């Protein structure tokens, strides 16, 4: 029986992956370790907890003792590492925890994979490790051979982790893969990120803070398509390889914001252009040829469908985000946007 450790599964993509896997592979055991930072939410895993093949453990991936004891008890067949500090703006304010969790936490997991029987390891990384592309060269895309060229403490910490993962493959022969995905959106996305922040503010008739002129471009992928890609890589990906994941859904930020305004029937006067993010990456765009050719992966959800589904989810799951924005999150919001 397959027994997969999912780290960071109380966050956005990890929780979607857990639900995807429990449905797709009802015979697998899935164990989640998450230390429930501000971004982790047990409420998100409530339904998973009812499944007898699922176990949640509160624990920190940088805690070697705790990690080793769960590896010893469980006998994992694979590890998928989602656990990370994930928000660029927070990494600009307080970089240290990004280095600790994203780099050292990865190392602790890799060491445990070696110690407990050369366990299959997958690192969930990001296209942000490639830096950015110019706005006036729509012909350029990130391939797996694009040099690492990071901009923010967040992307630098993710790139460092990728290099360590590949070093464990080359040096110790650990069976690893790395995936680098573009921006995700969908259910359970923490309200600090662009799409959920705009949906929730628009619903509450609050200002919509757009950085700079809103012309930066992101390549959006519906989260379920990302989960499917990871499953395919863990099952059939070539060991020691990197796979880019993205579905050619480039949009300027202002386009995304206007689309949300339109779906919710709000007015564009809610848009407020605010001071830009320092070092703001201009454009991300993935070339997914490798994963398509090697594993047959293709996205199933267009941006038009996905954004409708996402807005609908936030409308139907108010309890989930109202709990968040009523708590600690408001202090963060005031700090980041108060004087902007
Ligand atoms: P998220 O911030 O929503 O969730 C992160 C989860 O990790 C939270 O549940 C948090 O509690 C947990 N966590 C943090 N530090 C931990 C620690 N030390 N020990 C155990 N758990 C810890 O992030 P997300 O958006 O779901 O991203 C998941 C992964 O995917 C990250 O590695 C991120 O770099 C990568 N990624 C994200 C995107 C995106 O668009 N969100 C795109 C590509 C790649
Ligand atoms: P974000 O969701 O933070 O993801 P990332 O920076 O990892 O791509 O931001 C997506 C884009 O939206 C990015 O170009 C920054 C921009 N943005 C805003 O314009 N306003 C906001 O309030 C936020 C959070 C982001």
In the 3-class helix/strand/coil scheme, how is the chain assigned residue by residue? CCEEEEECCCCHHHHHHHHHHHHHCCCCEEEEEECCCCCCCHHHHHHHHCCCCEEEEECCCCCHHHHHHHHHHHCCCEEEECCCCCCHHHHHHCCHHHHHHHHHHHHHHHHHHHHCCCCEEEEEEEHHHHCCECCCCCCCCECCCCCCCCCCHHHHHHHHHHHHHHHHHHHHCCCEEEEEECCEECCCCCCCCHHHHHHHHHHCCCCEEEECCCCCEEECEEHHHHHHHHHHHHHHCCCCEEEEECCCCEEEHHHHHHHHHHHHCCCHHHEEEECCCCCCCCECCECCHHHHHHHCCCCCCCHHHHHHHHHHHHHHCHHHHHHHHCCCHHHHHHHHHCCC
CB distance 62 to ligand 1 below 6 Å: yes
The CATH code of the domain that includes 23 is 3.40.50.720
Ligand of minimum distance to the alpha carbon of 157: 1
Quick check: 130 pLDDT over 90?
A: yes
- Pick the ligand that lies closest to the CA of residue 126: 1
**Closest atom, ligand 2, to C-alpha of 214:** 19
- Position 102 scores a pLDDT of 98
Say if pTM beats, i.e. exceeds, 0.85: yes
User: What's the number of domains the chain is made of?
Assistant: 1
258, part of any domain: no
Which residue range is the domain that position 113 belongs to? 3-250+278-335
Residue 336: what pLDDT?
87
Catalytic residues: 127-128, 154
pLDDT digit string, tens, across residues 3-46: 999 999 999 999 999 999 999 999 999 999 999 999 999 999 99
Q: What pLDDT shows up at residue 339?
A: 79
Whether residue 273 lies inside any domain: the answer is no
Ligand 2 atom closest to the CA of 280, numbered from 1 = 14
Task: Confirm whether 38 is domain-assigned.
Answer: yes
Residues in the chain: 340
pLDDT tens track for 72-85: 999 999 999 999 99
Q: Is the CB of 16 under 6 A from ligand 1?
A: no
Amino acid 328: pLDDT = 78
Atom of ligand 2 nearest to the CA of 154: 7
Q: What percent of the chain has pLDDT over 70?
A: 100
- Ligand 2 touching residue 44 (CB < 6 A): no
CA distances to 24, 35, 113, 240 from 234, rounded to whole Å, are 14, 24, 15, 12
> Taking 80 as the threshold, does the pLDDT of residue 329 lie above it?
no
Task: Look at residue 340 and tell me if it is in a domain.
Answer: no
* Mean pLDDT taken over the chain: 97
pLDDT at 243 over 80: yes
Cα(223) to ligand 1 centroid in Å equals 13
Per-residue pLDDT tens digits for 80-124: 999 999 999 999 999 999 999 999 999 999 999 999 999 999 999
In a domain, 257, yes or no: no
Strand pairing class (120-126; 176-181): parallel
**Residues 330/337, Cβ–Cβ less than 8 Å:** no
- Tens digit of pLDDT for each residue in 264-298? 999 999 999 999 999 999 999 999 999 999 999 99
Classify residue 151: in a domain, yes or no: yes
| 104 close to ligand 1 (CB < 6 Angstrom) | no
Q: Is residue 313 part of a domain?
A: yes
């Amino acid at each position: 029986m397959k027994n997969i450790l999912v780290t960071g599964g109380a966050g956005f993509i990890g929780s979607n992956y857990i639900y995807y896997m429990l449905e797709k592979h009802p015979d697998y055991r899935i164990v989640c370790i998450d230390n429930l930072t501000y971004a982790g939410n047990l409420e998100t895993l409530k339904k998973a907890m009812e499944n007898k093949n699922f176990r949640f453990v509160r624990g920190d991936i940088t805690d070697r003792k705790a990690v080793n004891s769960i590896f010893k008890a469980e006998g994992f067949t694979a590890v998928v590492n989602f656990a990370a500090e994930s928000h660029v703006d927070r990494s600009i304010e307080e970089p240290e925890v990004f280095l600790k969790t994203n780099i050292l936490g990865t190392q602790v997991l890799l060491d445990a994979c070696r110690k407990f029987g050369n366990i299959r390891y997958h690192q969930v990384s990001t296209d942000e490790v490639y830096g950015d592309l110019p706005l006036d060269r729509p012909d350029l895309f990130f391939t797996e051979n694009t040099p690492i060229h990071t901009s923010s403490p967040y992307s630098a910490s993710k790139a460092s982790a990728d290099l360590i993962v590949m070093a464990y493959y080359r040096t110790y022969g650990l069976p690893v893969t790395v995936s680098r995905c573009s921006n995700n959106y969908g259910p359970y996305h923490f309200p600090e990120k662009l799409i959920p922040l705009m949906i929730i503010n628009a619903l509450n008739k609050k200002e919509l803070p757009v950085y700079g002129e809103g012309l930066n471009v992101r390549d959006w992928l519906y989260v379920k398509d990302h989960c499917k890609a990871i499953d395919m890589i863990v099952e059939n990906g070539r060991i020691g390889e990197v796979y880019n994941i993205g579905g050619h859904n480039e949009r300027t930020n202002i386009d995304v914001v206007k689309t949300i305004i339109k779906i919710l029937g709000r007015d564009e006067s809610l848009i407020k252009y605010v001071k830009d993010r320092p070092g703001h990456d201009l454009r991300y765009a993935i070339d997914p040829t490798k994963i398509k050719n090697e594993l047959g992966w293709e996205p199933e959800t267009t941006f038009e469908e996905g954004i409708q589904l996402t807005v609908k989810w936030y409308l139907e799951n108010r309890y989930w985000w109202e709990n968040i924005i009523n708590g600690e999150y408001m202090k963060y919001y005031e700090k980041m946007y108060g004087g902007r």
